[in-house]
Amino acid sequence: MPAIVLVGAQWGDEGKGKATDLLGSRVDAVVKFNGGNNAGHTIVVGAEKYALHLLPSGILTPGCIPVIGNGVVVDLGVLFEEIDALEARGVDTSKLVVSGSAHVITPYNRTLDKVTERFLGSSKIGTTGRGIGPTYADKMSRTGIRVQDLFDEDLLRAKVSGALNLKNQVLVKIYNRRAFVVDEVVGELLGYAQRLRPMVADTALLLDQMLSDGRTVVLEAGQATLLDVDHGTYPFVTSSNATAGGACTGSGIAPTRISRVIAVVKAYTTRVGEGPFPTELFDEAGERLRDVGAEFGTTTGRPRRCGWFDAPIARYATRINGVTDFVLTKLDVLTGLEQVPVCVAYEVDGVRCDELPMTQTEFARAKPIYEMFPGWEEDISKARALEDLPRTARDYVSTLEAMINAPISAVGVGPGRDETIAISDLLD
């Protein structure tokens, strides 16, 4: 079985964690390929609820190998906290493998993330404050600290010292913060080395061998298409490639190995942090989506901005990721609406636009053109087949499917593992 990519189609929090978990025990490895503990994936198994940040969702599937790929940025303190919290709840984390080439989020980059945001004031990105942007910036500037550096103390000290030469100047002289001490930073990082060592491997090689042996590998994105640093609503994005292309560079798996790209899309839209959002609601309809959908950030607890389904965005996700299947989530949240508006295109400066406009200047001015679809009153959370849905809910699903240029293969009707309508097998 070749590799399968799973991405978010909108601005994150579509339910990627639940979707990965759904693929279940037939998956041999789940690889996180981008991002870090800015992600928050909620998975509900029976009465148990898990919030994962850095660990791949496959950690909850017995027998599955969870892999942190080279494209991830790792906060080692958070990694061990998450492992310990899961172990305390009886989850076996012993199979976890971490790429030696993944970059490490250092204490100074956590601080820089927070102070630069404060400095930006009203122009801020609204980051999660976890040090993600500065760590990827160091990676690209070739001054980053990698997991493998923790096993070469001289190299680590030289790299931290080199990085702090510049960063301490910035922290002290521009942001009026205290300087970091090289020995303290090195000491903190080395403190993790012994526990980390047995988890570290050449993950690209390991995954290649698994694929050659016919095993199933899922490449799971953090964040989502419109938060991708190249294809998202730049600069209001994260600092990694969250789209399907990033799955290859972030894991070392070649594009020719990938047979399927699953995109998770919510039946409406949410966004956390700043940036344009054409279908955003500022009235009680938005508050209703937030309340009923429990739209509060898994990582920062911030209320998520809410709006109606945006078809041009989903079509864009299909094109950029080469989506073969959609998982439509949170259909149940729309229950009780008399009519459900769907954005079918935009109007930009008086001109109809069926695709995302080329520039962010135009996108910031895009006004949604809505079509209204009839709603439904019935509780749909017990539906397990399309036929169990009321006619209008089924029509809503097929209407979206016709607009987004790829089949909907599963529909979420609740947060639980079993609260799903399976339409076609995502792994066959």
CB of 384 to ligand IMO, least distance (A): 26
Q: How far apart are CA 388 and CA 83, in angstroms?
A: 39
**For ligand GDP, which residue of 414, 421, 423, 426 counts as binding (CB under 6 A)?**
414
Binding mask 308-347 for ligand GDP (x = CB under 6 A): ---------------------xx-xx--------------
Nearer to ligand GDP, 40 or 144 (CB): 40
* Residue 412 binds ligand GDP, judged by CB under 6 A: yes
Using CB under 6 A as the criterion, which residues of the chain lie in contact with ligand IMO when the complex forms?
Answer: 8, 11-13, 38-41, 125-128, 130, 132-133, 222-224, 227, 238-239, 272-273, 298
* 281-320 positions binding Mg ion, by CB under 5 A: 298
CB of 140 to ligand GDP, least distance (A): 25
CA-closest candidate to residue 221, choices 185, 195, 249, 179? 249
List C-alpha distances in Å: 203 to 30, 55, 98, 136: 12, 15, 7, 20
CA-closest candidate to residue 103, choices 163, 52, 50? 163
How many CB atoms are closer than 10 A to CB 213?
A: 9
Nearer to ligand GDP, 52 or 186 (CB): 52
Strand 339-348 relative to strand 367-374, pairing: antiparallel
Size of the site for ligand GDP (CB under 6 A): 22
**For ligand GDP, which residue of 345, 413, 423, 426 counts as binding (CB under 6 A)?**
413
* Residue 405 binds Mg ion, judged by CB under 5 A: no
Q: Check the CA dihedral 404-410-412-413 and report its sign.
A: positive
* 23-52 positions binding ligand GDP, by CB under 6 A: 40-42, 44
Q: Which residues are marked as active site?
A: 13, 41
Phi, psi of 368 (to 5 degrees): -70, 140
CB of 171 to ligand GDP, least distance (A): 31
> Both ends of the chain: CA-CA distance in Å?
9
CA-closest candidate to residue 229, choices 219, 220, 221, 240? 240
* Residue 159 binds ligand GDP, judged by CB under 6 A: no
**For Mg ion, which residue of 8, 40, 275, 307 counts as binding (CB under 5 A)?**
40
The structure tokens listed for 312 are: 């041009």
Question: In what helix (H) or strand (E) does residue 56 lie, and over which residues does it extend?
Answer: none
CB under 5 to 8 A by kind: which of Mg ion, ligand IMO, ligand GDP, none does 143 bind? none
List C-alpha distances in Å: 299 to 232, 288, 324: 20, 21, 29
Binding site for ligand GDP (CB under 6 A): 8, 12-18, 40-42, 44, 294, 298, 329-330, 332-333, 412-415
Binding site for Mg ion (CB under 5 A): 13, 40, 298
